[in-house]
Chains A and B, each alone.
Chain A
Amino acid sequence: MDPPDPSLPRREFAKAAVALGGPAGLAACLDRRDADPGPGTRQTGDLTTEDGSTSDATPDTVPTGDPASVPDRQHAWGEYVRRDEHGNALLPRHQVLLYLTLDGDGPPTGDERETVATAFHTLERAYAWRHDGLLHSVAYSPAYFDRFETPLPDSVDLPPPRALSDFEDPTFDTQDAVVHLASDRADVLLEAEEALVGEGDRANGVAVDAKLTDVATVDSRRTGFVGAGLPADNQNAAGIPDSEPVPEASPLFMGFEAGFRGNQATEDYVTFAEGPFAGGTTKTISNLRQRLDDWYGEQTFDERVAEMFSPSHAEQGLVEGIGDNLGDDSGIDRFIDDVPARAREAGRVGHAQKAARANRDEDGNVRLLRRHFESTDDIGSDQRVASLHFPSLQRGITAFEEVRRAMNGADITRATPAVRQRVNNGILEYIFVRRRGNFLVPPRRHRALPTPRPETSE
């Protein structure tokens, strides 16, 4: 991959620099910041800071961090990201996933654990725990815990990844760990990555004394972006029609907002309340290739609304544009009773309404906290192909599996032949699952190569 062209508009440039990564990506970002200290990765209007002010400038200085103020939950991002006017979380605009394989066999050693602990501690000192600093987490796979003789406690619901529909055959991510880095600033993200697994010897002025690559190898590096403007700017990818249909305002390629506050689990809800990993959670990460030619080419706006939300959303005209008018809740809970009967009438079923059926507990609480972001990575090639990285947090992997199965809508295909396995069946026609991995996100105190029973065996 070549360094990004400095003449690119800023959002495309920042995305391209993150996708490139490494010293070259970082250098490109820093050169650009020096030459163009204006907007950087920011843009007017969508970058509302917590006090409600907006800023059009990337400050030269990056706020440094205070490890003492970092929350114990690694997944505690919600209080530290931007919010839109409805209170919906706006995830950091640039994100990287690093899938790591430990170099040694068997359980990690105390020295290795110390190295990992130091590496993350360095990041916390270097960058403020917030969207314009750095948010990060590390999570461990079932394969990692298989290195130990002692199994995870029964209370931890962390099966290996598996196919979850009758029509998918994904490759499973069974590396030991995945590191998730997220920032609104591409330069911060890249510098942090260089500090963790690259050549960087300083991170925001803080000396780097330990690297993850001292004990592990990066098996797969995946990048992405989310937020108004970035999908529109980066829609020149396979899978998106040449007509460039992605609206400027849309945070995602499919043209709608997602992850409304009222339709997301809270961080409290997905967090383990007790056990050795109390304060932790589970995380699945899927990668879905997107094929949006027919989504935009064959479907009217109303049909897209029907397939994304529900046919009733379309009939009642509930969604305008990218759906900002929905506020902090898509209203999907009004349309999850008797979904088969509605599908019989409409000949279609909505993605959100299918999934929501399984995404509520008996008290009506939402079970999954979805944190998906877009990508043009084509894992395994250098091609630019539209895809979605789909991290989801939940108390147990089973919750994710149940929601995903509900999203398959197999019961709806039996209820009406108009809804087929992948046609007229939510958005299944347009997404192809390529990867899936399951992970445990330990609380921060156990994030460095934990044993399966950290309180008792450390």
Chain B
Amino acid sequence: MDRRQFLATTGALSALGFAGCRGDPAGEGPTETAPGDAPGSEPAEGTPASAGDTTTPDRPSGIYVQTFREQMSMQGGAESGDYAFALMFTVPHTFWTVTGDEFSKTVIEDGDSLHLMATVWDPETRTVLPDTGLSVEVTRDGSLVSQEVIYPMLSQPMGFHYGGNFSLDGDGTYTATLSVGGTTVRRTGAFAGRFGDPASVEIPLEFTPATREEMASRPFDRGGEPGALRPMDASFPQSVLPAPENLPGTVRGEAMTDDARFVVTTLETPPAGVDGDDPYLAVSARTRYNGYVLPAMALDATLTRGGETVFEEALRRTLDPDLRYHYGGAVDGVEPGDELSLSVATVPQVARHEGYETAFRQPDDVSVTF
């Protein structure tokens, strides 16, 4: 199918449309061009329209509303072992991968057919699992078409997911085998002992004119403003963390830096799986607007009391059914007036879709007074 034909078929909206944007819309107007039309990023003839392939000359620092709105084609779901999976795709995307503090733009390549996305969650608690490995093997009639380790990613409509651009071999029915690895992240509470084994599921992948009609990308004129598109309505769970008032323990306060929001809570006793019975300090890190989990950071914490340091450690990435994904550590007592200083040693090692590539890059040290 050539691009003109494709663009002509993108009027139909799928059930996964978007509710609008949130955040303060009063920022300066966007200056971006429409997806796929940016200078130097013209998709090759014969490839579908692309998304997120725009330049970013005047983007604000921090999260901004992405410059396009899109639909996606939901392909299916399956469960295996401790895991539930969902598979969907949309038009090929530009995204930014992160290694340490280095950002690397992955551009859309000639021949990319789609941006494949998968999400993995615990079917019992509907907790999205954000810090493991995921690979996809795509076959057609038993023949290998592609196989890749795909990247953990953050996008405005999808939140946390695993994704990558794939090149398919024309229209047809493919089989996508999603394989999740066992996580090395600490698990606590009822999650102790779970999510340690790999599992795989096969989900049919229909790449046809009908499913392509479901994926679409249109320019969004409020793109570039501070804010973010709302999470999409979806049949699978979102990676939105609990509101502060719904976190367990005593919420001690919160801090924001570079549009990363840190909510601090303490538990009188640690969740099962953490040694000892000292109080437990948990930092729930999420995106400013949508409250999406910010996984895979190195976060150092210092607790001072009356000018004296009583705790100074790297918090551990931890997955808990109540606290969800957080950064935690056992502390030797918590008292009113304690000051907690948080320092991001490594920014979230999660690839960014448009609107997030300018955020959580250079967070300042922040503090919360209990």
Contacts and interface: CB of A to CB of B under 8 A. Distances in A.
Contacts of A165: 181
B197 A166 contact: yes
Interface string B309-349: 00000000100000000000000000000000000001011
Contacts of A168: 198
Contact of A167 (B133, B144, B151): B133
Contact of A418 (B99, B104, B197, B198): B99
Nearest to A346: B100
Contacts of A417: 131, 295-298, 317, 346, 348-349
A238 interface: yes
A385 B139 CA distance: 13
- Residue in A166, A239, A428, A432 whose Cβ sees the most chain B Cβ within 10 Å: A166
A168 to B, nearest CB: 7
Contact of A422 (B102, B133, B200, B317): B133
A163 B182 CA distance: 12
Interface string A363-399: 0000000000000001001010100000000000000
A156 B15 CA distance: 61
B198 to A, nearest CB: 5
Contact of A385 (B144, B182, B295, B296): B144
A165 B131 CA distance: 16
Nearest to B350: A417
A141 interface: no
B133 A421 contact: yes
A168 B135 CA distance: 10
B100 A166 contact: no
A127 B249 CA distance: 76
B135 A167 contact: yes
Given A291-B147, A417-B296, A167 B181 contact: yes
Interface in A280-298: 289, 291, 293-294, 298
A346 B197 CA distance: 29
B198 A169 contact: yes
Interface residues of B, number: 37
Contacts, number: 85
B184 interface: yes
Interface in A148-163: 163
A423 interface: yes
Contacts of B142: 381
A422 to B, nearest CB: 5
Interface in B278-322: 295-298, 317
Interface residues of A, number: 35
Interface string A292-323: 01100010000000000000000000000000
Interface string B192-214: 00001110100000000000000
B58 interface: no
B143 interface: yes
Interface in A330-360: 344, 346-348
B298 A166 contact: no
Nearest to A432: B147
B296 A166 contact: no
B47 interface: no
A180 B22 CA distance: 64
A410 B152 CA distance: 17
Contacts of A169: 179, 198, 200
B300 to A, nearest CB: 12
B125 interface: no
A236 interface: no
Given A291-B148, A417-B346, A420-B152, A167 B179 contact: yes
Contacts of A422: 133, 135, 149, 181
Contacts of A86: none
A289 B177 CA distance: 15
B310 to A, nearest CB: 25
Contacts of A414: 184
Given A169-B198, A348-B99, A421 B148 contact: no
A410 B198 CA distance: 14
Nearest to A348: B99
Contacts of A175: none
A423 to B, nearest CB: 6
Contacts of A381: 142-144
Nearest to B196: A166
- Residue in B98, B102, B200, B349 whose Cβ sees the most chain A Cβ within 10 Å: B349
25 contacts: A163-B198, A166-B133, A166-B197, A166-B198, A167-B135, A167-B179, A238-B144, A291-B147, A344-B298, A344-B346, A346-B100, A347-B101, A347-B102, A385-B144, A413-B184, A417-B295, A417-B349, A418-B100, A418-B349, A421-B132, A423-B149, A423-B151, A424-B99, A432-B137, A432-B147
Given A347-B100, A422-B135, A424-B99, 16 more contacts: A166-B196, A169-B198, A238-B144, A291-B148, A294-B148, A347-B101, A348-B99, A413-B184, A414-B184, A416-B298, A417-B349, A420-B296, A420-B349, A421-B133, A428-B149, A432-B137
